Homo-oligomer: A and B are copies of this chain.
Amino acid sequence: MVQYGFKDLGYEYVILDDCWSVGRNSSGYLMPNMTKFPDGISGLADKIHALGLKVGIYSSAGTMTCARYTGSLGHEQKDADVWASWGIDYVKYDNCFNEGEEGTPQLSFDRYNAMSKALNKTGRPMLYSMCNWGVDGPWNFAPTIANSWRITGDLTDTFDRDDPNCPCEEKEGLDCKVPGFYCSLTNVLNKVVYYPSKAFPGAWNDMDLLQVGNGGMTDDEYVAHFSIWAAMKSPLIMTNVLAKLDPQTLSILQNAAVLAVSQDPLGSSATRRWRYFVNDTDEFGRGEIQLLTGSLAGDDQLVLFFNAGTQERTMNASLAEVFWEVAPRGTAPQVKQAWDIYDLWKGARMSNATASAIIAGNGTLPVNMTEIGGGGPDGARRAYAQVPPSNSTALMGTKVGSVQPSGTFTAHVKPHGVAMLRLRAQSTRKRDEL
Contacts and interface: CB of A to CB of B under 8 A. Distances in A.
Contacts of A106: 99-103, 107
Interface stretch (A77-85, A121-129, A135-143, A351-359): A135-143
B105 A110 contact: no
A140 B328 contact: no
A271 B165 contact: yes
Given A108-B100, A196-B165, A328 B144 contact: no
A109 B105 contact: no
Interface string A72-112: 00000000000000000000000001111111111111100
Give how many copies assemble into the complex: 4
Contacts of A103: 103-107, 136
Given A144-B97, A327-B157, A328-B157, A194 B215 contact: no
Interface stretch (A16-24, A176-184, A411-419): A176-184
Contact of A197 (B108, B175, B181): B181
A233 to B, nearest CB: 15
A209 interface: no
Contacts of A161: 328
A117 interface: no
A141 B100 contact: yes
Interface stretch (A166-174, A242-250, A341-349): A166-174
A165 B109 CA distance: 23
B97 A105 contact: no
A193 interface: yes
A164 interface: yes
A140 B98 contact: yes
Name which of A63, A136, A165 has the most chain B CB atoms within 10 A of its CB.
A165
Contacts of A113: 99-100
Given A104-B103, A216-B329, A98 B141 contact: yes
A215 B374 CA distance: 47
Contacts of A331: 215-216
Given A98-B140, A100-B140, A195-B178, A215 B327 contact: yes
B172 A172 contact: no
Interface centre among A100, A140, A181, A194 (most CB of B within 10 A): A100
A421 interface: no
Contacts of A63: 144
A193 B164 contact: yes
A174 to B, nearest CB: 5
A102 B327 CA distance: 32
Given A140-B98, A195-B178, A171 B167 contact: yes
A109 B104 contact: no
A328 B167 contact: no
Interface in A364-379: none
Nearest to A107: B106
A70 interface: no
A158 interface: yes
Contacts of A171: 167, 172
Contacts of A182: 325
Contact of A178 (B104, B137, B329): B137
Given A99-B144, A103-B136, A180 B167 contact: no
Given A136-B103, A141-B100, A177 B180 contact: no
A24 to B, nearest CB: 17
Contacts of A102: 104-106, 140
Contacts of A108: 100
A303 interface: no
A415 to B, nearest CB: 15
Contacts of A165: 194, 196-197, 271
A137 B104 contact: no
A271 B178 CA distance: 15
Contact of A216 (B98, B167, B193, B328): B328
